[in-house]
Amino acid sequence: MRIALFGDIHANLEALNTVLEDGEQQGVTDWVCTGDVVGYNANPSECLEIVRGMDIPIVKGNHDEDASGSHSLENMNPIAAEALDWTRQHLSDEQREWLRKLRMVRQVQDFTVVHSTLDQPQSWNYVTNKFDAMSNFNYQFTNLCFHGHTHVPRVFVRGARVKEVAAESVVIEENLKYFINIGSVGQPRDGDWRACYAIYDLETKTVSFRRLEYDIGTSQQKIIDAKLPESLASRLLEGR
């Protein structure tokens, strides 16, 4: 069994299709989504329909929540708010309802999935260092948990203490706990513009990251054509 973990798609159809094709070539048998299907990019409806049609385990992201609600976006970063307002208008009531009903945490096989953290999933906290990861580990009852939200692939490990190791191929050891950020399909922020996802191979107990070039020019042009904030197009190429 080879399970693909993917998320923070953020309505980037070109990146999503590239990841799905790569997964097929990599012999992926199952898919699990860490949320944020919509927001920022120009194809929320298309991406939502693809992911919904896959009928896979998925958790809710903060953009999924904001796009499916009708609450004010005033306190949010203005660019994200503008994109979310646009996204709300480009989803049907029924699509928004599907997003609204997504669960916050799921257990799949021998691992847990959450968009942000397990200690307070509804607070959407960002895990950027081992200290942030520590509070999550106190609420993590499987030895492996996958998450997203920061759009930066990271691997935190708890043994005698918590440490961060390189986001490369990781062999999961049974006596340790792992909190793994699987990066972002549609808007990576680690300085590398290529779409990111991870594959967990249950036989070899290995988690590996995939980085893929995709048709970023088309994604950028769609942002411009949709009259979404132009900075959303430039940040894609910067990987920020």
36 touches Zn ion by CB under 5 A: yes
Half-sphere exposure of 130 (CA within 13 A, CB side): 12
190 touches Zn ion by CB under 5 A: no
The answer to whether 118 and 125 have CB atoms below 8 angstroms apart is no
96-100 CB contacts, 8 Å cutoff, 24+ apart: 96/67, 96/68, 97/68, 98/48, 98/52, 99/37, 99/38, 99/48, 99/60, 99/64, 99/65, 99/67, 99/68, 100/65, 100/68, 100/69
For Zn ion, the closer CB: 151 or 158: 151
For Zn ion, the closer CB: 23 or 188: 188
Where does this chain touch Zn ion (CB under 5 A) — which range of 35-43, 139-147, 158-166, 195-203? Answer: 35-43
For Zn ion, the closer CB: 112 or 181: 181
66 touches Zn ion by CB under 5 A: no
102-131 residues in contact with Zn ion (CB under 5 A) are none
Where does this chain touch Zn ion (CB under 5 A) — which range of 2-10, 23-31, 160-168, 197-205? Answer: 2-10
For Zn ion, the closer CB: 86 or 158: 86
8 touches Zn ion by CB under 5 A: yes
Query: What is the side-by-side order of every strand in the sheet holding 195-201?
Result: 30-33, 2-6, 195-201, 206-212, 170-171
- Name the site residues for Zn ion (rule: CB under 5 A): 8, 36
